[in-house]
Structure 1
Amino acid sequence: MLTATARTRRGVGHTRRWAALVVLMLPVLLVAVDNTVLSFALPPISEALRPSGNQLLWIVDVYPLVLAGLLVPMGSLGDRIGRRRLLLVGGTGFTVVSAAAAFAPDAAWLIAARAGMGLFGAMLMPSTLSLIRNIFTDPTERRTAIAIWAAGFSGGAALGPIVGGFLLEHFFWGSVFLLAVPVMVPLLVLGPLLVPESRDPRPGPIDPLSILLVMLTMTPLVYGIKTFSTHGVGLESILAVLVSLAAGIAFVRRQLRGREPMLDVRLFANPVFSGAVSANLLSVFSLVGFLYFVSQHLQLVSGRSPMEAGFFLVPGLALTIMAGLAVVPIVRRVRPAYVVASGLLLNVAGFAVIGFAGPLGSDLGLIIAFMVLGAGIGAAETISNDLILSAVPAHKAGAASAISETAYETGAVLGTAVLGSILNAAYRAHVEIPAGVPGDAAESARETLGGAAQVSGGLPAELAGPLMDSARHAFDSGVAITSGIGVVLMLAATVIALRTLRSARS
């Protein structure tokens, strides 16, 4: 009698394969939307739950902290107990906890619920990509499926402001969490019917110490980066990074010495694997760094609503999807290294356009920049994810998927922290507060563009106008610096891709 893994290897019917992909896209879209929608719900959450400043930060930060720490352990767990099983457990938990978050009576409850969402979200993401790796055995079909999967991330990020804006204009703040229920119920119903089970046929034992070490590697790293982006270099951020570094070294040593490691770190000795992970991380870095800037520019500089700002990103989203699908037939004739490098060069061009469009306040220029950036990310992400998965045996797809997801999460945190910190520093260096603005209000306006916008709402027109003019120019003054850094990083990523991926074949 065939095992579930053996049945998967023999193939899944054509119609069922693509129907399974549709089902697997549901958690991808939901998690991507959830990454961006919360920022729009913070004002009504603050009004309803009255959190302290520290609690408000934890409402935002606890989800990515838990998620980053558990992605690799959950990917490895899926290889052992079954990826579909882990997906369905994660989907059930994410739905229940999201509903609990929607009706949180206080900030502490919401923080706990967000931590639970991070736990179950870590079960969802590696499972989807590793299941795709095992369902689609044909390389061309797999690349197409991965292109659609990658488009789901980009699409969800762009849809977040649109969906969030609509929900918050018509319903209470908890509706952004209740969104999980109608999205996840079809997964729980159709997943067992359409998605075949797959697992490692010879799984090793679960290693609690390795799980603890990888959590002590990723969680303090993400926390340290976030602390640096908020407060600058300090003892707290330095200690967090040092703990992360020490735990990471201990984790690698344990994996190298173990007979059945939780994660085969020798994968990184494969230049194709490590190069594809690097391209993945840097592509997401560029995307999230851009979104951090453009979301504030469109709303606080150009004065558009969250929904309008989201619609401005739709052309770039469409081009991301089209580019991801377009490279599938191209990579059969052109080496993957050249396709990935071309995508990264488009990212270079996108940042160059931002450098000109941002300081000029051109919304049209920003749309064009995002379209160029989207095309580059669609091309680079599709092929880099495919290379990550194809570089490992199918039965290790969960661990490889978890590494890809960890690169995504780390790139997202770095994009916000590094480019966001530079933008905020340029803002603080150039903003001029008009005389007559009260002390506390002046300090708040001096910190961020959002703070200036909030303060100006309570000032008379003769103070509010000059304050916002200065704040908008100060914010855009950092664009040339951040876009220049983006250009340099993407050029470096292009060189890395050309050198490390040259042995990869389509």
Structure 2
Amino acid sequence: MADNIHTPEQASRREWVGLCVLSIACLIYSMDLSVLFLAVPAIVADLDPSASQLLWINDIYGFMVAGFLVTMGTLGDRIGRRRVLLMGAFAFGVASAFAAFSNTPGQLILARALLGIAGATIAPSTLSLIVNLFKNEAERNRAISIWGTAFALGGLVGPLIGGILLQYFHWGSVFLINIPVMLLLLAVAPFLLPEYKNNDAGRLDLLSVVLSLATVLPIIYGFKHMAADGFQLAQIVYIGLGLLVGLLFVRRQRRLSDPLVDLALFRVPAFTASLMVNLAGVFFVFGVFLFQNLFLQLVLGLSPLEAALWSAPSALVFAVMSFQAYRFTNRFGPVRTVLGGLLVNAAGAAAMAIAAYAESLIGILGSSMIIGFGFVPVVLTTTGLIVGTAPPERAGSASAISETSAEFGGALGIAVLGSLATLIYRMAMNRADLSSLNPVQAEAVSATLAGAVETARSMPGSTSAVWLETAKSGFSLGFAICCVVATVTLLLLAIVARRVYATAHIDESTLAPH
């Protein structure tokens, strides 16, 4: 047995340079999810979109990314991951120019949709190519950490870069910065990145593509609007429609000899457990940090800039941990890293619950740093397990499933936890004396804390003091209860994951402590 054990060859400088190129492309893809937020006022002034058009300008990119991830990841397995990445990079550059010079809201919506479709090629292609570049498990963990750092930094620097550009240039400049990076990728990728495709793969089943889109898009749409508008029949109908089409999609995949999604992947215990942990981690972090941002501004009264500055230390923890997560995986192994990270994450959520109930600024920020210490190694390690336990010819599909799971987790976390917190807030407001308000004001105050704060600003000084404090306390209580739910669920998840990983018999012998 010992004679058959060998250490995979280590990567050369070429592979590490290739990783840098892939990471920069991933940073741009991630940055486009958030870079538009600060540009909205300038876009409204220039293009005068309707409320519905503005909503689609903001949301269509994320919808298209989520909808096309599985298709593009599987397409890469079939025709070549590098080829799909280069096609996507070219389309991303063209769509960026189209967005930058849009003259109407309709043009900008179309450009953002095309950006989303092109962006869906980048995340699964870059991640699956990392599997090809790095054969050594320890080096692959480090590479995935660097990739994760780029993804995290994209979300952090997107608003910052957007703010700087908007200070001096037209709003279209936030899209033009994509073009030089895509040109760099097109120029160097053919020389630095290996091509990989499954030569035995059959033709792409177009009906499966349509069914996958009809599954993902309505569900994501329903959950996103549920978070914004609360439980409404329309949102439930969209989610139900998506689930129904999803059943048809699964039935078709079982019958096809070359399915779009290989359902056999879900029979691999390590793959399924890692996917479940990954989704749950994103679910709670998205929900908790949505509450955190609202808490800092609406409960504590900080301005957006003050809230951003106070949140900088926890954002720094996320960035640093993304870069250093591989050390934990290499030293302790993936299973212990995931289980330990879940426990740390649960401890951070418990601390957040206490801080939210006490309305403590320092407690909230300290808790978010603890969550960062636990969450980042968990998500990056499970991502590595998802692509590492899948057969090499299915790495692109596995990467796409991982990214789609994260999209679902984020949308679901915001919707479900947001709805729970809203329910608790409204129950708390039933006790408030709103007799001094007219019906419209009372409805706004009872619905959300944002409505209560906005109403209070329009009223004389002390008139709103009592019910506004009740509103803030109700929000804080809802925030705290959601964190308690997160704590309990993460602890239960750690127990379940431990049992599943124990049956998976993951080989950790290739991981050398560093």
**What TM-score, normalized to structure 1?**
0.89
Kept in 1, the 8 Å contact 2:142–2:327? The answer is: no
**Consecutive unaligned residues in structure 2, runs of 5 or more:** 1-7, 509-514
Q: Distance in 2 between matches of 1:189 and 1:314?
A: 35
Deviation at 1:173, TM superposition (A): 4.0
Query: What is aligned with 1:343?
Result: 341
Give CA deviations for 1:364-400 in whole Å, capped at 9, x if unaligned.
2222111111111121112111111111222221101
Deviation at 1:320, TM superposition (A): 3.2
Q: Distance in 1 between matches of 2:457 and 2:174?
A: 26
User: Do the aligned partners of residues 370 and 391 (structure 1) sit closer, same or farther apart at CA in structure 2, a change above 3 Å counting?
Assistant: same
Q: Distance in 2 between matches of 1:486 and 1:388?
A: 23
Instruction: Note the 1:110-259 alignment, pairs <5 A.
Output: 110-259=108-257
Once superposed, what is the RMSD of the aligned Cα atoms?
2.8
Deviation at 1:286, TM superposition (A): 2.0
Q: Which moved more, 1:81-90 or 1:232-241?
A: 232-241
Query: What is aligned with 1:7?
Result: none
Deviation at 1:463, TM superposition (A): 5.4
Query: What is aligned with 1:413?
Result: 411
Q: Distance in 2 between matches of 1:182 and 1:302?
A: 41
Which amino acid is the alignment partner of residue 391 of structure 1? Answer: T
Give CA deviations for 1:215-251 in whole Å, capped at 9, x if unaligned.
1111111122223333444432232223222222222
Which amino acid is the alignment partner of residue 226 of structure 2? Answer: F
Query: What is aligned with 1:491?
Result: 491
Kept in 1, the 8 Å contact 2:156–2:315? The answer is: yes
Q: Distance in 2 between matches of 1:98 and 1:110?
A: 10
Kept in 2, the 8 Å contact 1:161–1:309? The answer is: no
**Consecutive unaligned residues in structure 1, runs of 5 or more:** 1-9
Give CA deviations for 1:39-90 in whole Å, capped at 9, x if unaligned.
4444444444443333333233322222222110110111122212211222
Kept in 1, the 8 Å contact 2:152–2:322? The answer is: no
* 1:481 maps onto 2:484 in alignment: no
Picking from 373, 389, 399, the partner of 1:391 is: 389
Q: Distance in 2 between matches of 1:473 and 1:188?
A: 53
Q: Distance in 1 between matches of 2:181 and 2:223?
A: 32
Deviation at 1:137, TM superposition (A): 0.9
Which amino acid is the alignment partner of residue 56 of structure 1? Answer: L
User: Do the aligned partners of residues 319 and 231 (structure 1) sit closer, same or farther apart at CA in structure 2, a change above 3 Å counting?
Assistant: closer
* 1:62 maps onto 2:60 in alignment: yes
Give CA deviations for 1:194-234 in whole Å, capped at 9, x if unaligned.
22222223221111011111111111111222233334444
User: Do the aligned partners of residues 457 and 31 (structure 1) sit closer, same or farther apart at CA in structure 2, a change above 3 Å counting?
Assistant: farther
Which amino acid is the alignment partner of residue 499 of structure 2? Answer: R
User: Do the aligned partners of residues 412 and 429 (structure 1) sit closer, same or farther apart at CA in structure 2, a change above 3 Å counting?
Assistant: same
Query: What is aligned with 2:507?
Result: 505
User: Do the aligned partners of residues 230 and 317 (structure 1) sit closer, same or farther apart at CA in structure 2, a change above 3 Å counting?
Assistant: closer
Secondary structure of the equivalent of 1:196? coil
User: Do the aligned partners of residues 78 and 433 (structure 1) sit closer, same or farther apart at CA in structure 2, a change above 3 Å counting?
Assistant: farther
Which amino acid is the alignment partner of residue 20 of structure 2? Answer: V
How many residues in Structure 1 have an aligned counterpart in Structure 2? 497
Query: What is aligned with 1:22?
Result: 20
Query: What is aligned with 2:402?
Result: 404
Deviation at 1:159, TM superposition (A): 3.0
Query: What is aligned with 1:312?
Result: 310
User: Do the aligned partners of residues 476 and 31 (structure 1) sit closer, same or farther apart at CA in structure 2, a change above 3 Å counting?
Assistant: farther
Kept in 2, the 8 Å contact 1:300–1:449? The answer is: yes
Kept in 2, the 8 Å contact 1:161–1:306? The answer is: no
Picking from 359, 363, 366, the partner of 2:364 is: 366
Which amino acid is the alignment partner of residue 339 of structure 1? Answer: T
Secondary structure of the equivalent of 1:388? helix
Give CA deviations for 1:428-455 in whole Å, capped at 9, x if unaligned.
4445686666655554454444444555
Q: Distance in 1 between matches of 2:369 and 2:463?
A: 37
Kept in 2, the 8 Å contact 1:101–1:113? The answer is: yes
Q: Distance in 1 between matches of 2:54 and 2:125?
A: 30
Query: What is aligned with 1:33?
Result: 31
Which amino acid is the alignment partner of residue 500 of structure 1? Answer: V
User: Do the aligned partners of residues 471 and 233 (structure 1) sit closer, same or farther apart at CA in structure 2, a change above 3 Å counting?
Assistant: closer
Q: Distance in 1 between matches of 2:304 and 2:462?
A: 27
Q: Distance in 1 between matches of 2:497 and 2:100?
A: 43
Query: What is aligned with 2:511?
Result: none
Instruction: Note the 1:80-95 alignment, pairs <5 A.
Output: 80-95=78-93
Kept in 2, the 8 Å contact 1:392–1:400? The answer is: yes
Picking from 368, 378, 381, the partner of 2:379 is: 381
**What TM-score, normalized to structure 2?**
0.87
Which amino acid is the alignment partner of residue 57 of structure 1? Answer: L
Which amino acid is the alignment partner of residue 137 of structure 2? Answer: P
Which amino acid is the alignment partner of residue 504 of structure 1? Answer: I
